Structure formats: structure tokens, C-alpha cells
């Protein structure tokens, strides 16, 4: 199966990584995989931090509240590498139209998620960390033999980034929440642990803070429990007293 995935990557022109909460424990392996392949990364709400949002290959969050360029990448892709995700409706919208041009590779530890919403062409039910270690091993063995060049695809996506950047309205006598979050990102060098409740502020925090590491972003994404932010912040302060 891993060999088949490597072959699909080598045959593709417009691959995209679609990573979710199941990739948080595999961040190191994921970063190495991206380094070896040069494939752009789009993240779900729960996957933020598994790959640095500030990296040039990051497309940030996709889906209903995601960036234009992340959603564009999935729509135009010919290979979707879905790692640790569940194809939920906030990401996919109309399932028939989601990644309709792409071959889909789905790796997830939960067999119930594979094929539940979107049928993959290749699937592996496994710990993503182990699967990525295997893929990276194959790719490292073939450095110099595999001619992976997605520069034209990355340039196409960079043009979308320039054309459709994240933005917000400014007001003369008031501070925009998005601006406040951007300033917090700058003041903390993107290294703070951020916890939120549920709602619009949650989406702004997901969009405008550049998460560098896994577990920096604490939010109730699946259940959507309001009031989650304060106890989560208390837990983070107890568990990681060295962090902001």
C-alpha cells in the first residue's frame, strides 16, 4: 500500500495534503514528509498546529471557514492525501463535488471513518505516525531517483494566496478582533497556547493566529461545547506552566 501511495504521488501534478486532528501526534513525521515531497498542506480546524501555519507550503485551514486558496487547492487537485481526517461536512460541503478531480488516499486509525463519507481509492487503517514513517523511509531511499517537482502547482496556489488573502474590515474608533489576534500572534511569536469557546471568535482565532506546533490550539471542534475555553486554558496553565 505504501508503495502504491508513493507511485500515485510520483504520477500526480497537483497533490494536496488534507490533515486533521489525527495528525497531531505525527507532526514530526508529517513535516519530514512535506520536506521530502514539497506537497502543500491544508488543515482542518482540529488539525491546526500539526504543520506550521507560517510555512510557505501551508494553505492554512480549509472548509466553510477556511481560506479561498485551501479550498481551491482541493477543488483543483488530482491527488488528495487525507491523513487523520473524517471528511466532515464543514470541510467537504457537497460530498459529490469535494475533490471531484482527485484520487483519494485516506489513512486513519479508525476503520469506521474510512469510506464513511467519501470513498477513497487507496486506504490504510493504521497509526498515522507509523504509516508516515514507512512512507518517509521509502522516499528517503529514492532521493535522486524520484523526480518530484510540484513547483508549477505551488506557483498556481501562491497566485491564489496573493489574489484572495485573508482580510477584514477596519474601523476608526474600534479594534477589529482579527487585528487583535494578529497582534497577539506577533507578540507571542506564534508560540502561545490558545484556547477558545465556540462561535465566531473561534473561527477568527483559527484563521489569524499562526500555529507552529501541535497542541497549541485548544478548541471544542467536534462537540462544539460553549464555555470550553476557560477550563481548557486552566488545564493548559497547569499542564504547561512554562508556556504563555
Average pLDDT over residues 83-111: 96
What's the pLDDT tens digit per position in 182-226?
999 999 998 999 999 999 999 999 999 999 999 999 999 888 888
pTM: 0.93
In angstroms, the CA 111 to CA 109 distance is 6
Residue 203 lies in a domain: yes
Residue 244 lies in a domain: no
User: Based on the domain organization, do 195 and 148 belong to the same domain?
Assistant: no
Strands (E), the chain: 15-19, 41-43, 58-61, 79-83, 103-108, 122-125, 194-195, 217-218
The single-letter DSSP state of residue 122 is: E
Q: Domain boundary at 113, 141, 163, which?
A: 163
Q: Domain boundary at 105, 131, 163, which?
A: 163
User: Based on the domain organization, do 232 and 124 belong to the same domain?
Assistant: no
- Work out the pLDDT band at 169, boundaries 50, 70, 90: confident
Give me the chain's average pLDDT, please.
Answer: 95
CATH number at residue 117: 3.40.50.1220
Q: Domain boundary at 163, 195, 214, which?
A: 163
User: Domain residues for 143?
Assistant: 2-163
What's the pLDDT tens digit per position in 24-47?
999 999 999 999 999 999 999 999
Residue 171 lies in a domain: no
Residue 19 lies in a domain: yes
- Domain count for the chain, please give it: 2
Amino acid at each position: 500500500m505504501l508503495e502504491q501511495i508513493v507511485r500515485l504521488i510520483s504520477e500526480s501534478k497537483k497533490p494536496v495534503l488534507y490533515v486533521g486532528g489525527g495528525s497531531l501526534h505525527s507532526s514530526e513525521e508529517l513535516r519530514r514528509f512535506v520536506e521530502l515531497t514539497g506537497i502543500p498542506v491544508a488543515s482542518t480546524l482540529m488539525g491546526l498546529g500539526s504543520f506550521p501555519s507560517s510555512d510557505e507550503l501551508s494553505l492554512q485551514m480549509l472548509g466553510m471557514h477556511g481560506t479561498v486558496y485551501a479550498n481551491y487547492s482541493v477543488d483543483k487537485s488530482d491527488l488528495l492525501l487525507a491523513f487523520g481526517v473524517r471528511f466532515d461536512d464543514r470541510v467537504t460541503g457537497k460530498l459529490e463535488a469535494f475533490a471531484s478531480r482527485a484520487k483519494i488516499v485516506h489513512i486513519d486509525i479508525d476503520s469506521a471513518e474510512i469510506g464513511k463519507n467519501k470513498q477513497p481509492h487507496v486506504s490504510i487503517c493504521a497509526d498515522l505516525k507509523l504509516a508516515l514513517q514507512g512512507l518517509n523511509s521509502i522516499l528517503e531511499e529514492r532521493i535522486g531517483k524520484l523526480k518530484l517537482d510540484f513547483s508549477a502547482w505551488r506557483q498556481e496556489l501562491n497566485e491564489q494566496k496573493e489574489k484572495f488573502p485573508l482580510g477584514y474590515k477596519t474601523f476608526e474608533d474600534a479594534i477589529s478582533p482579527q487585528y487583535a489576534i494578529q497582534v497577539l500572534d506577533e507578540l507571542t511569536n506564534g508560540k502561545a497556547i490558545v484556547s477558545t469557546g465556540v462561535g465566531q471568535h473561534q473561527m477568527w482565532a483559527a484563521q489569524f493566529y499562526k500555529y507552529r506546533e501541535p497542541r497549541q490550539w485548544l478548541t471544542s471542534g467536534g462537540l462544539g461545547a460553549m464555555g470550553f475555553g476557560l477550563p481548557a486554558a486552566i488545564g493548559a496553565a497547569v499542564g504547561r506552566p512554562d508556556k504563555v
